[in-house]
Amino acid sequence: MLKIAIQKSGRLHEGSLKLLKECGIDISNGNNQLRVRSSNFEAEIFFLRDDDIPEYVQDRVADAGIVGENIVYETQKKVTVVEKLGFAKCRLSLAVPRYEQYKDITDLQGKRIATSYPNILEKFLKEKGVQAAIHTISGSVEIAPRIGLADAICDLVSSGSTLFLNELREVQTILHSEAVLITHPQLNEEKLAVLESLLFRIRAVNKAKDNKYVLLNAPNHCLPQIIKLLPGMRSPTVVPLAEPGWSSVHSVISENDFWKVIEQLKANGAEGILILPIEKMIL
């Protein structure tokens, strides 16, 4: 059985539960239990504080965990990142008061920087050859310049609205972060087998999110060019329609190429185009 730690509350909690559910793993936590066994998968779920998850995995209390990359790098525990999960994306950035001049990182030489991520910040400043006083605080980092505690901050940024409300502006990104699956570096064969099964499901779910299923009708003389635009996973499926000289084409489009390809399909004679989400995608 694989013991998996996830956030009991906070930024990654809902996303972690949603991913496990999409992977077909049933978890019932109606009584806010801190430890729940799945009824249909060889896994036991621990609900923990985000900052504690890497340590629990390092110490083998949990075999795996879902946590933000920022926490992995900040806590510096001996764990292995085995998969990026594609949700809870954000960045760890430096920010200064909105109207303060800032040209580059050297402007922070000798300044005070407030952060909840002192280890990541210290490493970054050292690499840049900048000496600054790091003030470690937990929570409400963005208020530090307004109360005179610091000249700048280093904090997680998503939309940037919190910085704007506190009259700060983002000036440099230190780290791009998202939810990741971590494991203890030395799992036994039984646990590795369950981990591989979990990774297979996660990759099928996330691959589906990156693609769309497309169905369209087209006159047969247009098929060669349309097929070039729709490589699919191997090649498109072409099915003759009841109307002579017409066919239905089924394929897959990458989310990144979606609008560009749709426009090209229309220009090359495609009609009645339907776009459907994909629930799982097995390659």
Task: Look up residue 226 and give its two tokens.
Answer: 């349309």
- Residues contacting 181, CB < 8 A, separation 6+: 64, 65, 66, 81, 82, 83, 85, 198, 199, 202
pLDDT digits (tens, 9 = 90+) for 215-236: 999 999 999 999 988 866 678 8
Domains identified in the chain and CATH numbers: 2-88+178-208 (3.40.190.10), 90-177 (3.40.190.10), 211-277 (3.30.70.120)
Length in residues, the chain:
283
Comparing CA positions, the residue from 170, 160, 165, 158 lying closest to residue 143 is 165
pLDDT digits (tens, 9 = 90+) for 60-117: 999 999 999 999 999 999 999 999 999 999 999 999 999 888 999 999 999 999 999 9
Task: Look up residue 148 and give its two tokens.
Answer: 């005179």
Rounded to 5, what percent of the chain is helix, strand, coil? 35, 30, 35
User: How far apart are alpha carbons 160 and 99 in whole angstroms?
Assistant: 16
Cβ contact 247:220 at 8 Å: yes
Cβ contact 183:195 at 8 Å: yes
User: How far apart are alpha carbons 31 and 28 in whole angstroms?
Assistant: 8
Residue 235, pLDDT score:
82
What is this structure's pTM? Answer: 0.85
Highest mean pLDDT (candidates 6-15, 68-77, 271-280): 68-77
pLDDT digits (tens, 9 = 90+) for 154-189: 999 988 888 999 999 999 999 999 999 999 999 999
